[in-house]
Amino acid sequence: MITVHHLNNSRSQRILWLLEELAVPYEIKRYERDPQTMLAPAALKQVHPLGKSPVITDGELTIAESGAIIEYLVDRYGDGRLAPAPGTPQRLRYRYWLHYAEGSAMPPLLLKLVFDRIEKAPMPFFFRPFARGIASKARASFIEPQIRQHLNYMNDELAATRWFAGEEFSAADVQMSFPLEAAAARGGLDSRWPRLLDFLQRIHGRPAYQRALERGGRYDIVG
């Protein structure tokens, strides 16, 4: 039996969704973020040394990292589903988006989260103008332009195909869900990117996505 070590409001939600799409039985072990720091609990380090989520265990295997988990589950349990055929152009696009989601799309969104918290963090009043000035400049000169560049790129890519890897829904779309949900939750995704909004609407309407929400519990990033 697969166990998903599931941290609330985290990337592990898309692993639950993938398992629902594959109709593979699984169990959930739940972990809660610290309400002050929003960090994962130390108990996750007993599963994997980095103490991050998602992590799954399947028999004697322990697998971390969203992309690695998705590839493992599709290869092991997909039986040809949710991945284009090997050797096709769609397979190359599939692999590209699996890596792009965390390697390129997420870093500027994480930087935005960090600098937003710096600006709002309590601090001595005489430091506050400097900290807020630095955060504001970093967002305006680098972070926000990077986010817009990526959103433009993703929106344009969906002009060519219905889903990220091609005309068929695949696990690459599962992987791509989190950066787009993060962008939407942080106010960075609006009507300027209609294809991305349509993508989110389509995935949120999938029965497997809804079942994963029911099993995973509260997922504030969806809004």
pLDDT at 219 over 90: no
pLDDT at 138: 74
**Global confidence as pTM:** 0.91
What does the pLDDT average to over 91-101?
A: 97
Mean pLDDT of 13-34: 96
Alpha-carbon torsion 90, 222, 71, 168, what sign? negative
**205: phi then psi, degrees, rounded to nearest 5:** -85, -5
List, in sequence order, the alpha helices (H) in the chain. Answer: 12-22, 66-77, 89-100, 106-120, 128-138, 144-157, 171-185, 194-204, 207-216
pLDDT the model gives residue 94 = 98
| Per-residue model confidence (pLDDT) at position 34 | 84
Q: In the prediction, which pLDDT does 116 show?
A: 73
Q: Are strands 2-7 and 55-58 parallel, antiparallel or unpaired?
A: antiparallel
Q: Domain 2-83+213-220 adopts which CATH fold?
A: Glutaredoxin (3.40.30)
pLDDT-derived band at 223 (thresholds 50, 70, 90) equals very low
Q: State the pLDDT at residue 222.
A: 47
Beta bridge partners of 62: 57
Q: How confident is the model at residue 121 (pLDDT cuts 50, 70, 90)?
A: low
Fold of 89-206: Glutathione S-transferase Yfyf (Class Pi); Chain A, domain 2 (1.20.1050)
Within a 10 A sphere around the Cβ of 186, how many other Cβ atoms? 14
Residue 118 pLDDT: 66
- 10 Å CB burial of residue 223 (0-12, 13-18, 19+) is exposed
Position 220 confidence tier, pLDDT thresholds 50, 70, 90: confident
Residue ranges per structural domain of the chain: 2-83+213-220, 89-206
Topology alike, domains 2-83+213-220 and 89-206: no
Residues 6+ apart with CB under 8 A from 28: 3, 4, 6, 16, 215, 216
Residue keyed to tokens 């997922």: 219
What's CA 22's distance to the chain center, in Å? 18
Beta carbons of 40 and 95 less than 8 angstroms apart: no
Q: Using omega within 30 degrees of 0 as the cis cutoff, is the peptide bond preceding 54 cis? A: yes
* Cβ atoms 93, 164 nearer than 8 A: yes
Q: Is residue 6 within 8 Å of residue 216, measured between CB atoms?
A: yes
